[in-house]
Every structure is written in C-alpha cells, then in structure tokens.
Amino acid sequence: MNTEQFRVAAKAAIDEIANYHDSVPEHRVVSAVEPGYLRPLLPASAPLDGEPWEAIQSDIQSKILPGITHWSSPGFMAFFPCSSSYPAAIAEMYSNAFNGAHFNWICSPAVTELETIVMDWLAQALGLPECFLSGGPTHGGGVIHGSASEAILTVMVAARDKYINEATAHLPEGEDKEEETWRLRSKLVALGSAGAHSSTKKAAQVLGVRFATVPVSQDNGFSMTGEALTKTLDELRAKGLEPFYLTATLGTTDVCAVDDFASIASALGPRAGKPGEIWVHVDAAYAGAALLLDENKPLAEPMAAFHSFNFNPHKWMLTTFDCSAVWVRHRGHLIAALSIKPPYLRNQYSDNELVTDYRDWQIPLGRRFRSLKLWFVLRSYGIRGLQAHIRNGVSLGESLEEKLVSREDLFSVFTRARFGLVTFRVKGDDGGEEEVNRRTERLYEAVNASGRFYLTSTVVNGHFAIRVCTGTAAVREEHVRGLFELLVETVEKQLKE
C-alpha cells in the first residue's frame, strides 16, 4: 500500500468507523456468536501473496463485527466502562504515525516529556497531594502504564525491595545479610481488602509472595477500616510473617466501596517512615476519575500518607484503551527496583540524569506514545467538559437507585449508587438468602439474554447481586428508564411463573 492508496483506504475506514459509532445503539450489546465461530470463516494459513485491500477491509463488516461486544453502547452497563472518544482516536492515529519503541528519552523526547507534563496536569486536576507531582518535594511523579494490573505489580516490586533493603540496612554486606534477605522474602505478605481487585492477588502470585485478605462487612459499606487492618496485621505478625504492602481501594470492583483512608493511615502511622513501614497503594482504577469533581476532592487529601496511586483514564475518562495512570511519591523506589543499564541502552542524556527514562518505572522496555491521547482528551473536553461527563454517570446511577427504591416490593438496593454503580437484588418471600440469590440470578440472566443491555453480577459475602454501572459515555436517562422497565417487566413475569 503506497501513500496515495493509504489516503484513500484510511479515509474510507474513517467513514466506516464514524458510521459504526452512530449505529452502535442499534446493535445487540453482547455479541451472539458461538465459541469457535471465526475459524471456519478464515483460511487455514496466511496467504502466500498479498490480498487486495478491498477484500481485507470488507472482512471487518462480515467476519469481525458479528464477534464484537459493543462497549460504547448505551446498553453496556457491565463491568466498568471502557470509554473512548474521537479526540483520543485521532491521537492514536498520530501516535502510530510516530511509531517507535520509546524506551529512552532520546528515542523521541516528546514522548517522555509530554507524559511528565500531562501526568502533572492530571494529578492537579484530581487534587492529588503535591508529593505526586514530578517537581514535588519528594521527587515523585506519574507514568502511564497499560493496565492497573501492571501498575499494581510494578509498585509491589518497589515496595518489596524497599521493605527488604530497609529491614536489612543495619547488617554489613555478606552471608548473614544475604541469609536474612532470603528469610524475609519467605515471610512477606501483600494485603488487600476482600473487595480489592483480583490484580493484587495476581501480583502477589506473580512475585511469589503470600497474599492476605482484610475482611470487610456490610455494616461499613464493604469499606476496609483501620481496625480490621490492624487485626489482620496483628494476626500475620503473630505468625512471624512480614506484611510489606497494602492495596487500599477507591471504588471497589464489586460495589464501588471506598476504603476508610483516614483510619488506615492512623493504623499504619506508628511505622510510617521507618523500617517495617507498609507501602500503601491506592487503586482507584475506575472511580479515580470522579476526583475531577470538586465535591470528591476531599477523598484525594489522605493520599499524602500513602505511597502510590493509580486510576485508568481508559475506564471513565474517555481515553481510549489502554491508559492507566500511576503516580508514586518517591520515584527513586521504582528506579531502584526496576533499573537495568546494559551498554546498548546507554546515551549521554540518560547517563547525565538530565532526563526521565520511563523504562525504569515499568516492567516493559518499549512504550507507546500514550500521553498524546490523554493530552488531546484533556484539551478537547477541558476539565469542565470531563466533569460534565462524570456527573452524568454519577447522576444516572442515582436515578436508577431511586427507581429501584420506588419498587421496593420487587427490589432491594444492595449497595447505594456511588460513582455511577448501583447493586441490587430481587426481594424474596420466605425462602431466605438462597431464594433471593436464585431469583436475582434468574433476573440477571434473563436481562442479559435480551441483548438490549449487558449487566454483570457479583457475589459479596455470599450475597448474589446485580451490578449496574452507568459510566458509559452514551448512557442517558432514557436508557436507565428502559433498563428499569425491563427489570420490572422481567421480574414480574418470573414471579408469576
């Protein structure tokens, strides 16, 4: 394909993409294909000779589109949203044009420098404490990862090395120190609340350290408290174990609970800044975007007591997947844990510490130019435009909650609307918990089978609940009303049967 053919083909693709966006509401939300649908449609091997562009492009409509679940559909209220936008899509086009591996500053200075700047912009817009700014007092800063899972693994590595280094700093180099290091490694425990996303457990599994759960209860809205944390820590330490890392959550995946940051900070206070300190990472993958709203700014203040923070602009902030924003209070801990300097990566700028080499802030070496889409999104919408989008999701969640409450003969709200997430259950008669679980699951399956909406469910402390998330950009009051009517109609029919 030469440049002229590219102009034609790419512009035709733009039209097709624009048409797709406008037609999304007409599609069934979730793809209806059966497992294995695609293999019989494609040849058994790659073609020997190149195919004409028209043949390739037409397969998008005929073979790929049927296998797509439409995350931008106003009926998509499952998981958390994965929101895209036109400005982000155009940014990605430029990013691909400036294609490179970008592991060093010199690989394309703009890639590194824009990332530092927009991550500072974003930290300010969220109201994060200044320790997370690149020019802040503790030499912190932000970096873009691909996913919260990577972010959590990365900070857990830094936390582990920091913990071990500080615990063995008093020992002289030698065999004793090495032995103590290995003894400590075998005792390390990473923690998260029962509501923490599975990525913390997975990171512990990857690193080969223990994982322990801090219980949460419905009385506290499933929020982790300092008290519960202290109890868990005491139990672990009584067994000779070494808790070194904690994920606290702002907006848990199952019910959008917010952990009690103030009491967690108090509980950990006595060891803060000393050997044995526990690294606290705050995972705000979804709900972090809500810190853009002034009314949520107080939630950001306690972060000053913690070590790192992440949220995913690709979830609720219109920044096409993938874009996970991570900030640390001391970048030195990341670099100490992750830096490797072989001769073929050396260059005068890095050697003289004039520049940031983000490869030392992450697991991969190469990096995409992801800051471009964040920059385009922040500028196209402006902070006020983004606030309006977030407020829309928040208030639609509240609207659904109100509707559910209006039919408390049929539904009980399990956790109230927060950050656009409501969870609820179907009312039971006298069949107890099991009957409620069964009825709720039945409703959940029927609504998803309709193809009009896509919801997910969760099980919290044995309670089966339906999750509805109204954060997808296209959701409007009419869709929430439509969902509610379908819920009522379906459950009434099911109760009659």
* Nearest Cα residue to 42 out of 57, 63, 61: 63
Shortest Å distance, C-beta 358 to its own copies: 13
For residues 16 and 485, which CB has a smaller minimum distance to its own copies in the complex?
16
Q: Which of 89, 236, 241, 335 binds its own copies (CB under 8 A)?
A: 89
Q: Which of 28, 139, 201, 391 binds its own copies (CB under 8 A)?
A: 201
Based on the shown chain and the rule CB under 8 A, indicate whether residue 446 belongs to the binding site for its own copies.
Answer: no
Residue that has been written with the tokens 């190149």 in this structure: 50
Cα 339 from Cα 358, distance rounded (Å)? 10
For residues 65 and 410, which CB has a smaller minimum distance to its own copies in the complex?
65
- Residues 126-155 binding its own copies (CB under 8 A) are 146-150, 153
What secondary structure does DSSP assign to 261-306, as a single string? Answer: HHHHHHHHGGGTTSTTPPEEEEE-TTGGGGGGSGGGGGGTGGGGGS
Cα 126 from Cα 366, distance rounded (Å)? 28
For residues 42 and 171, which CB has a smaller minimum distance to its own copies in the complex?
42
- Residues 464-483 binding its own copies (CB under 8 A) are 467
Shortest Å distance, C-beta 262 to its own copies: 27
Based on the shown chain and the rule CB under 8 A, indicate whether residue 239 belongs to the binding site for its own copies.
Answer: no
CA distances from 441 to 28, 305, 445, 457, 463 (A): 21, 41, 6, 8, 11
Shortest Å distance, C-beta 59 to its own copies: 9
Given a contact cutoff of 8 angstroms between Cβ atoms, the answer to whether 81 and 473 are in contact is: yes
- Residues 244-303 binding its own copies (CB under 8 A) are 253-254
Based on the shown chain and the rule CB under 8 A, indicate whether residue 433 belongs to the binding site for its own copies.
Answer: no
Shortest Å distance, C-beta 277 to its own copies: 19
CA distances from 170 to 11, 173, 174, 471 (A): 64, 9, 12, 50
- Residues 203-232 binding its own copies (CB under 8 A) are 205-208
Cα 435 from Cα 174, distance rounded (Å)? 63
Based on the shown chain and the rule CB under 8 A, indicate whether residue 171 belongs to the binding site for its own copies.
Answer: no
- Residues 325-384 binding its own copies (CB under 8 A) are 337-338, 340-345, 349, 354-355, 363-366, 368, 372, 376, 378-384
Based on the shown chain and the rule CB under 8 A, indicate whether residue 51 belongs to the binding site for its own copies.
Answer: yes
User: Which residues, 6 or more positions from 430, have their beta carbon under 8 angstroms from its beta carbon?
Assistant: none
Based on the shown chain and the rule CB under 8 A, indicate whether residue 394 belongs to the binding site for its own copies.
Answer: no
Q: Could you give the 3-state DSSP secondary structure of residue 221? A: coil
Based on the shown chain and the rule CB under 8 A, indicate whether residue 462 belongs to the binding site for its own copies.
Answer: no
Based on the shown chain and the rule CB under 8 A, indicate whether residue 22 belongs to the binding site for its own copies.
Answer: yes
Residue that has been written with the tokens 């050396």 in this structure: 346
